[in-house]
Amino acid sequence: MVQASSDAGDGKRPPWYAPGRLSLRTRLLLLVVACVVPLLAFSLGGQYLQYREAVAATGRQTLELVRSMSLVVEQELRARMVALEVLALSPTLHRDDFAAFRAEAEAVIEQQFPGSNLIILKEDGQQLMNTLLPPGTSLPVPRTWRRPGRSSPPGGRQSPISISARSGRGPWLPSTSR
């Protein structure tokens, strides 16, 4: 007939029990770990991808900012160079009338380049006019303008007009060739 389930007293174990098997507690713990580890891995992977995207977006924004700033600086330099070129083409400068040119230059400096100084140089570096110094003041003589073996000023351009900052303040402005 049908035999009843064995009881603990006869030394037989139930059929689902096998020696060396894990306890219920251990199996539940492994099940929880098996569920949590993939979730944790996907979460960390997603955060890493978001981080990489944020770094890339920051890089793009920084590059766009630098490009726009360089365009603004370039426009400002062009505007200043145009003002200097207009000064360089002044008839009073070409007539070597430095007293009249000084009045023109000081008006332009006050309007376009506040806090700056206009210096007119000969090819050898001798100053012909310096708006930082009062009119009639003796102008400094350059120590050395040309390096041995060079026939032109640094950069190969002869620049009769040069703008520099007064007492280290204000922007350094580009020079213009005649």
Cα distances (angstroms) measured from residue 115 to each of 126, 138, 165: 23, 22, 7
Helices (H), the chain: 24-88, 91-94, 98-112
Whether the full predicted model's pTM is greater than 0.85, yes or no, is: no
99 SS3 class: helix
Low-confidence ranges of the chain (pLDDT < 50): 147-148, 155-161, 163-178
Cα distances (angstroms) measured from residue 171 to each of 27, 88, 113, 117: 75, 19, 8, 10
Residues whose CB is less than 8 angstroms from the CB of residue 22 and which lie 6 or more positions away in sequence, other chains included: 30
**pLDDT for the residue 140:** 79
Residue appearing with tokens 């929880």: 32
* Pairing outcome for strands 116-121 and 161-165: antiparallel
**pLDDT for the residue 80:** 87
